[in-house]
Amino acid sequence: MTLEIITSELLTPVRHGFFTRLGGASSGVFKGLNCGIGSSDQAEAVTMNRTRVAEAMQADPSQLARMHQIHSADVVTVTTPSPEAPKADGMVTNQPGIVLSVLTADCQPVLFSDPEAGVIGAAHAGSKGALAGVLQNTIAAMENLGAKRGNICAVIGPTISQRAYEVGPDFMDDFMIEDPTYVRFFAGGQGDRMQFDLPAFGLHCLREAGVGQAEWTRHCTYSDPDRFFSYRRCVHQKEADYGRLIATIRL
């Protein structure tokens, strides 16, 4: 099956893609393009999937830079891909040929580009990392390489939508402590539960940081099991594990 790659005109002409689960070699609960090295999927299948992604990006698999994602605000600058994935949730580069990659399964994959400066970035922005400032830190790291934030375009890929993201009062409290106006990203749910709008919060962070343009592709990972992996859907269906989607960008 052919790979399905979601792209955005905002990032053109930089080569990039938010890959769906279609077209991979994995089976079972991982059926499709599972690129999660940390999953319990067969290592051979994951390697094959990641090779297909690299080929789609017109790169050697060795050029596929990855992170050990920890839901932080930490960002690294990549000059050459390392076999030892750094602990971080954002990465930037100005080196042609390096493919920045992010793994997600409900969290926001965010790709950044300043084509004039020749600087790109990628971030894994779940609720915790987004609140901590990973998006703002990725933009700042791009500036350190010569990008201008007003020239940066940022695109949020497939992520969990508000209607599928139920949270408790402690979750909401963390946001209210940071800024009481963040209440606008929550809608009423059942009992003391609330529905959190993660992509709206991500767009807010990007626009407040002063990027030139920002958008969400408007794909919900939870609501489309044929195309996307979802951690939350896995938990609700009591599955043993879940696949990871990949998003990539290169100069």
For residue 185, being part of any structural domain is answered with no
For 214-244, the pLDDT digits (tens) are 999 999 999 999 999 999 999 999 998 999 9
Supply φ then ψ for residue 214, to 5 degrees.
Answer: -150, 145
Confidence of residue 162 (pLDDT cuts 50, 70, 90): very high
Phi-psi region of 171 (alpha: psi -120 to 50; beta: other; left: phi over 0): alpha
pLDDT tens sequence across 106-156: 999 999 999 999 999 999 999 999 999 999 999 999 999 999 999 999 999
Task: Check residue 82 and give its pLDDT.
Answer: 81
How far apart CA 85 and CA 122 sit, in angstroms, is: 14
* pLDDT band per the 50, 70, 90 thresholds, residue 84: confident
> What percent of the chain shows pLDDT beyond 90?
94
Q: Does 216 fall in a domain?
A: yes
Q: Tokens 């994959």 map to which residue?
A: 109
Is 178 part of any domain?
Answer: no
Measured between alpha carbons, how far is 1 from 13 in angstroms, rounded to an integer?
A: 26
More confident of the two residues 38 and 204: 204
Range 44-71 average pLDDT: 96
169 lies in some domain: no
> How many structural domains compose the chain?
1
Q: Is the pLDDT of residue 15 over 80?
A: yes
What one-letter code names the amino acid at 121?
G
Q: Is the residue at 20 inside a domain?
A: yes
Q: Which of 79, 126, 84 is nearest to 100 (CA)?
A: 79
Q: Identify whether 51 is part of a domain.
A: yes
Structural domain contains residue 188? no
Nearest partner of 249 among 157, 159, 175, judged by Cα: 157
pLDDT of residue 189: 82
pTM to 2 decimal places:
0.97
Strands 119-125 and 108-114: antiparallel
Q: Using CB atoms within 10 A of its CB, is residue 80 exposed (0-12), middle (13-18) or buried (19+)? A: exposed
pLDDT digits (tens, 9 = 90+) for 166-217: 999 999 999 999 999 999 999 988 889 999 999 999 999 999 999 999 999 9
What was the pLDDT predicted at 17? 98
Supply the range of the domain harboring residue 224: 5-161+197-250
Q: What CATH number does residue 39 fall under?
A: 3.60.140.10
Q: Please indicate, yes or no, if residue 167 is contained in any of the structural domains.
A: no
Provide the token pair at 140: 């700042």
Say yes or no to pLDDT of 89 above 70: yes
DSSP state of 52: H
Q: pLDDT-derived band of residue 1, with 50, 70 and 90 as boundaries?
A: low
Judge whether residue 81 has pLDDT over 90: no
